[in-house]
Amino acid sequence: AELAGLHARAGRLAGWPDSLEQAPYEPVDHVEVFGLAGLPTAAGEVSELVAGGSVGGRLLAAAGPDLHLETDGGGVVVLDTRLMTGWELVPADGAEITVPVREFKEAPGVQDGLF
């Protein structure tokens, strides 16, 4: 219902270019396509990469730029690969993460915005 409401609000905005045509609201769940179905809930996300830090883990799924990694502690952490620009990739010595991780505090499935 929330997505339908957002779609309707976006359609009422003025200034749409003539080259765009509003499509009907047809939500699609891509959880299966990205291999996210049945994954444990992620506990947090890597907030930044730092010199001397490491990110290691078993890759569970990749969705867009996000890698879902199972860590030594058994928790799942999400790494946005766009953070990796300019960093060297070397083999990890295990599934440990020694960079800052922001823990998720909101309920699973709650999203604060589309972008």
Report pLDDT for 90. 86
Pick the closest to residue 82 from 42, 30, 41, 46 (CA basis): 46
Pick the closest to residue 41 from 60, 22, 23 (CA basis): 60
Distance from the Cα of residue 60 to its chain's centroid: 13
Report pLDDT for 35. 83
Report pLDDT for 102. 93
| pLDDT tens, the chain, 115 aa long | 999 999 999 999 999 899 998 899 999 888 888 888 999 989 999 999 999 898 999 999 999 999 999 998 768 999 999 999 999 888 877 778 999 999 988 655 556 665 4
Whether residue 43 contacts residue 55, with contact meaning beta carbons closer than 8 Å, is answered with no
* pTM to 2 decimal places: 0.70
Report pLDDT for 114. 55
Report pLDDT for 4. 93
Pick the closest to residue 70 from 92, 85, 50 (CA basis): 92
